[in-house]
Chain A
Amino acid sequence: MNLVRLVVFGFIGLSIVYGLVWLYSRSVRREKLEKAWEADNPEGGDPEARARYVEEGMQDYHSSIRPKLILLVYIIPAAMVIAVLILTNWN
Chain B
Amino acid sequence: MVYVKWFFRIVAFVLVFGTLGYVLPRHDVARITGTEVIRMDFSSFNRMFYAQSDSGNVEGETRDLRLINTYKRKTWLFGFIPRDSYGVMVYRNEDTGWIWPPYFKFDSSDLQAEASNLQSTAADPQWVVITQYGWRNRFFTIYPNAIAIRPIDSPDDSPFPWFNVFFFVFVGVAWLFIRAMWRQFRERSVDPAMERAGEAWDAADAQIDERRGRFRKWLDSWKSKPKRY
A68 at interface by CB-CB < 8 Å: no
Residues of chain B within 8 A of A2, CB atoms compared: 55, 97-99
- Interface, chain B (partner A; CB < 8 A): 55, 97-99, 102-107, 110, 114, 147-148, 180-181, 184-185, 188-189
Q: Could you say which of A5, A27, A89 contacts B107, with CB atoms under 8 Å apart?
A: A89
Measured CA separation A31–B188 after assembly (Å): 8
Let me know if A81 and B184 touch, CB within 8 A.
Answer: no
Q: Could you say which of B99, B105, B181, B184 contacts A89, with CB atoms under 8 Å apart?
A: B105
Measured CA separation A30–B181 after assembly (Å): 14
Looking at B104, B148, B184, the one whose CB has the most chain A CB atoms below 10 A away is B104
Let me know if B104 and A84 touch, CB within 8 A.
Answer: yes
Measured CA separation A24–B189 after assembly (Å): 11
How would residues 11 to 42 of chain A score, 1 for a CB under 8 Å from any chain B CB and 0 otherwise? 00000000011001001101100000000000
Measured CA separation A6–B102 after assembly (Å): 10
CB nearest to A87 among chain B residues: B148
Let me know if B102 and A91 touch, CB within 8 A.
Answer: no
Let me know if B107 and A28 touch, CB within 8 A.
Answer: no
CB nearest to B180 among chain A residues: A24
Let me know if B181 and A91 touch, CB within 8 A.
Answer: no
How would residues 54 to 87 of chain A score, 1 for a CB under 8 Å from any chain B CB and 0 otherwise? 0000000000000000000000000001001100
Let me know if A88 and B107 touch, CB within 8 A.
Answer: yes
Residues of chain A within 8 A of B184, CB atoms compared: 24, 27-28, 31
Q: A2-B98, A5-B98, A6-B98 are in contact. Are A88 and B188 (CB under 8 A)?
A: no
B92 to chain A, nearest CB (A): 16
Let me know if A3 and B98 touch, CB within 8 A.
Answer: yes
CB nearest to B174 among chain A residues: A17
Let me know if A89 and B106 touch, CB within 8 A.
Answer: yes
Listed by A's residue number, 11 A-B pairs whose Cβ atoms lie within 8 Å are A2-B55, A2-B97, A6-B98, A24-B185, A84-B102, A84-B104, A88-B104, A88-B148, A89-B106, A89-B107, A89-B110
Number of residues on chain A facing chain B (CB within 8 A): 17
Q: Which 3 A-B pairs have the closest CB atoms?
A: A2-B98, A85-B104, A89-B107
Let me know if A89 and B104 touch, CB within 8 A.
Answer: yes
B51 to chain A, nearest CB (A): 11
Let me know if B99 and A91 touch, CB within 8 A.
Answer: no
A30 to chain B, nearest CB (A): 8
Let me know if A88 and B103 touch, CB within 8 A.
Answer: yes
Let me know if B188 and A27 touch, CB within 8 A.
Answer: yes
Residues of chain A within 8 A of B110, CB atoms compared: 89, 91
Let me know if A91 and B107 touch, CB within 8 A.
Answer: yes
Let me know if B181 and A24 touch, CB within 8 A.
Answer: yes
Residues of chain B within 8 A of A84, CB atoms compared: 102-104
CB nearest to B147 among chain A residues: A88
Measured CA separation A24–B182 after assembly (Å): 9
